[in-house]
Amino acid sequence: MDNPMNLSGHNVIVTGAGQGIGEAVARLVVSLGGKVVLVDLQEDKVLAVAEDLGADNADVYVGSVADPGFVQDMVGQAVQKNGAIHGLVNNAGIVRAAMAVKMPIETWQQVIDVNLSGVFYCLQAVGRHMYERAESGDTGPASIVNISSDAGRRGTIGQINYGAAKSGVLGLTMSAAREWSAKQIRVNSICFGVVETEMTETIRSDKFRDGVMAQVPMGRFSDPHEVSQPVCFLLSQASSYITGQHLSVNGGYTIGV
């Protein structure tokens, strides 16, 4: 029997691939037989990941997903070089914490620009390409995975900008799925709990660790490799009848202890 998680022949754009979850997703896509287009702001880190994966498996574009011109050029060049893009993982994200009453407008805007508008720019550019391919009779795979968060399902204290952006990602996922499903273009999101990366260093500090951990029924945090697996499931043909869904990958956090 063929392995339904096999990604041979899949070209996948992964944003925020220089470290953390994006890097782990890129590595697993290549392990499963696919090719990756790596996007990140941090040139040194993303080049190092690409070098490790090998020139045949990985291309690199350095720039910001919050810049619509960069995104257009990046997707256009990736399509030209690879012929087709079969997957997109909208993973790049930032946190800029402040309580709602004190949050400067710039801090609100920075997070919305990257975590919501950036997701839309990439989804629109890749979705257009997938739509045109489908119209021309190409029945190849087409899957977009948007990285959201538990913060998008139930809010978060001290990051109203992040919570709003991640909720917005869920709305964007369902709308795009409804517009494109008839063309067999699938769009889903994943809501992570706490994954041990640079982004979560603060909440994993001694000060917060026990309080956050006590709310996770499985009693542990996750790591980038573990959570990259459900991302690849949604990219692969193993999830071929799933679209418009939000998959929680959080040790049971949203069901409660």
Cite the active site residues.
Answer: 162
Report, in Å, the least distance between residue 209 CB and ligand NAD. 13
Report, in Å, the least distance between residue 163 CB and ligand NAD. 11
- Residue 218 per-residue DSSP state: T
Q: Which residues contact 96 (CB under 8 A, 6 or more apart)?
A: 107, 110, 111, 159, 161, 162
Cβ closer to ligand NAD: 239 or 248?
248
Report, in Å, the least distance between residue 195 CB and ligand NAD. 4
Cβ closer to ligand NAD: 183 or 225?
225
Q: Which residues contact 54 (CB under 8 A, 6 or more apart)?
A: none
Cβ closer to ligand NAD: 133 or 166?
166
Query: What is the β-pairing status of strands 35-40 and 58-62?
Result: parallel
| CA 145 to mean position of chain CA atoms | 6
CB atoms within 10 A of CB 210: 8
Q: Which residues bind ligand NAD (CB under 6 A)?
A: 15-16, 18-22, 39-42, 64-66, 91-94, 114, 118, 147, 149, 192, 194-195, 197-200
